[in-house]
Structures are given as C-alpha cells and as structure tokens.
Amino acid sequence: MSHIDILVATTSGNTEYLADQLSDQLIAAGHTTELHYEPDYQQLMTGDPAIWLCCIASHGAGDYADSMLDFAEQLSAQQPHLPLLRYAVIAVGDSNYDTYCAAGRDCDERLQQAGATRLVSRLEIDMATDDPEQKSTDWLRSFIAAL
C-alpha cells in the first residue's frame, strides 16, 4: 500500500474537513496518510518518490488560502524538478466567482510543469452546488485505483 501526503489549503475549514474525510477513507483502504495543514516546502521537497493529494481551496481573487500561501510561493519561485512525484488535485471553489477553483488549477499546472505525474484528472468541487463529500468519495475510487 502507499503513503500519501495530503496538502491542505483552507480558509474557512471546509477543505480541512474534506481532507480529514479523505484521509480516513484512504486509511480504511489500507494506505497511510500524513495531513499537512500548513505544508512545509523544505519538508516535502525531499527528492524521494512521493504521492501528494492536494486539497486546495481558492480564496479572495483566486489566491491560495493562507495555510498554503508560503508553500505555493516557494513552489513558484523555486520551480523544482519533481519527476518522482505522483499527485492529484482537488480544487474547491464557488462558481459564483470568476476565479472559481483558480488556486487548485494553478497548483495542478505548476506540478505538471515540474515534471510530476498526475494520477487522475483534477476534481473541481463547487461549494455553491455540489455535495463535497459525495463528489470527492466518488472521485477517490479513481485515485485509489491509479495508485
């Protein structure tokens, strides 16, 4: 089974709750997880093979939530080469805003540019219309199958 680092960008706590639920489901499926509520760039950039599940809420004008802002800025500035990283992104937003899921989309794009391997297509959750738990649980099956 796999070890999965779950990186969380949240402002209101909804995405943190979602990440906790996903962690529980991954553990029930036999995997190990580590939740990173304030991801530390140096800690995560080991160069070793890794799997990241990025749960990213957009904030304000499509910005990363404060809990992940430093990490995102370092990722952008350092432009690391991450060929051993496998990842997936869950982007959380509100379609009433034109910056819907912008931070999650940005994270996905930056990891692709870094040479990481996307395991499954990005999931976008609309807090205005979707049931986040149901939508993410359905998507998680594909994520687990791709591991």
The three-state DSSP-derived secondary structure of the chain is: CCEEEEEEECCCCHHHHHHHHHHHHHHHCCCEEEEECCCCHHHHCCCCCEEEEEEEEEECCCEECHHHHHHHHHHHHHCCCCCCEEEEEEEEECCCCCCCCHHHHHHHHHHHHCCCEECCCCEEEECCCCCHHHHHHHHHHHHHHHC
Q: What is the pLDDT of residue 47?
A: 87
Q: What is the pLDDT of residue 22?
A: 98
Q: What is the CATH number of the domain that holds 115?
A: 3.40.50.360
Give the C-alpha distances (Å, rounded to integers) separating 100 from 65, 110, 142: 13, 17, 23
The predicted-structure confidence for 25-71, as pLDDT tens digits, reads as follows 999 999 999 999 999 999 999 989 999 999 999 988 899 998 999 99
Question: How far is 63 from 44, CA to CA, in rounded Å?
Answer: 21
Q: What is the pLDDT of residue 106?
A: 97
Q: What is the pLDDT of residue 123?
A: 98
User: What's the structural domain count of the chain?
Assistant: 1
Lowest average pLDDT, out of 95-99, 108-112, 142-146, goes to: 95-99
Question: How far is 31 from 100, CA to CA, in rounded Å?
Answer: 31
The reported pTM is 0.97
The predicted-structure confidence for 100-140, as pLDDT tens digits, reads as follows 999 999 999 999 999 999 999 999 999 999 999 999 999 99
Rg (the chain; Cα; Å) = 14
11 band by pLDDT with thresholds 50, 70 and 90: confident
Residue 37 belongs to domain spanning: 3-146
